[in-house]
Structure 1
Amino acid sequence: MKTTMKTTINKFLFDGYLWCERKLAGLSPKQLVTSDGTFAYLEGGKGQTILLLHGFGANKDNWNKLAKYLTRDFHVIAIDLPGFGHSHHDPEASYGLADQLTRLLTFVQHKQLTNVMLAGNSYGGYLAANFAAQHPERIRTLLLLNPLGVASAKHSEVFNYIAAGGHNVLLPGNQEEYAFLLQKCFYKVPYLPDFAIEQLTREATSNPSLKEKIFFATHERSGDNLIFEGPLEQVLKTYPGPTVVCWGTEDKILHVDGGRVLKREVEHIKLVEFEKIGHLPMLEAPGTMAKEIYKAHHEAKKRT
């Protein structure tokens, strides 16, 4: 009984915390019901549309701190990708690259989004790059934050361990494992109150079989390697639009070498490295990340 009451109180406090974050960011929660299922998303601001795609195991609220710097001049949309957050979860569905891109296109079409700045972090960056390559007519500028999917990059310690069949730190099973994941995601883990840690752990450890299914639909294991259906160093050669890749140099989830590979392989890419930043620059350095978005926006305006 005490545990249930504590959980209820913590959820109430966490919901209030998110409400304040969203309010400060100028974002409101919304839903879009389609024939493919329901999309949960945050929306706010006016101006150039920027669509934000979160990473694996995360959700739309990963963008709140960054959005606070953007909604004055941008129309910001941050969605829960299918299988995560409050968007539709179907354990029987397929979550391969083509399926997720089809679902993303459904959202974009229903919202009538064109001339979009598309930004994605990690898994969201993998989807963003592949989406832009398939639908370049809809994308004005592509921004990738520590993106997944650079096949020829050095593996991080975390991914070497996963590829070799070790415990997947991206699929935590309890609070201790979630705390370990936070250590790997940040150069300096931000302070989180106890109620937030408990609720975030609860969300991170929910639907474990579905998350595992999505993980291995994205990363195929081949010997001691993880391979990708849409490797970015190939995919981005087919996307002609302006592309900015931002990478925290202290990323323990995806090696910073990924950004350097993309810069070497794809001529039109601009690479920005953030010193003393980890896997989630929009959370660890939102002001710095916002400056890069404004720069990309102004560069795009010069070209039109």
Structure 2
Amino acid sequence: MRIALLFRLFLTGLAAGSTVPVSAATGSYELFELQRQISALVAGHSGEYGIAAIDLRDGYTAAVNGATPFPMASTVKLAIAAAYLTEVDQGRRSLGDMINGRTAARALEAMIVRSDNLAADQLFATLGGPAKVHQWLLSHGIRGIRVDRTIAQLLRERGHLADSKDVATPLAMVTLLKEIDGGTILSPQSRGFLLDLMRQCRTGTRRIRALLPAGTLVEDKTGTLDGISNDVGFITMPDGRRVAIAVFARGGRDRQPVIAAVSRMIYDRFTDSVRNAIAAFMRIR
């Protein structure tokens, strides 16, 4: 147990920073190598990237700039959806409630599948505004995400790049994804409903999904503003292992191809990364 704990703490410590010098003793760790490769990849491109990935089976995490806040853009819509579905689970609302002429289910579908901004703001208003969604995050112990403005306000104020509002760290975003997937904040029915919508996402074909093998299950939500390209969600590996991933990109060029390349790199490494890392650790301890 002590060995396993030390190993987990080691990987968690790596995830908080951007790059860490590789020593002979730790160079074998697959997730450490993954971080090194991601760092090298993004260093070869202009702009700034924040990346985090967590194995939802074992909790092992890899991150680059994992604690740096990045503009969320439309990835905030996952928090809006989860907050609304929590109230459905509590019996305070239903998917059949009418919201400006359409059911809540249709509004959620439009917001997640097509990234409809009007639907997002209608759901914001129903919940009581951005502050209520922010409070919902805090109530579930999710810190590192700020929800400050409606989508209309965000676009009107052109909030992006260096803005300190409506931001999330990559590690905070994968924490939200982990909570959504793990059944701790949503009922199985609400979780299934949201994941089904994410599976149908139409706006991210050139990001996380682009370079993954045909047939790979991806459930994601994109975010886009001037100079901002994001994609966050879940990748299911061939053995059934699920990985939550968040890739935020601001400035520079070729953001979408980089997101695609990073996602494929994570897919390749996470397929057997934890098994190889533990084996290496046991050999050198």
Classify the TM-score, shorter chain.
under 0.3
Higher relative contact order (CA 8 A, sep 6+): 2
TM-score, L = length of structure 1: 0.25
TM-score, structure 2 normalization: 0.27
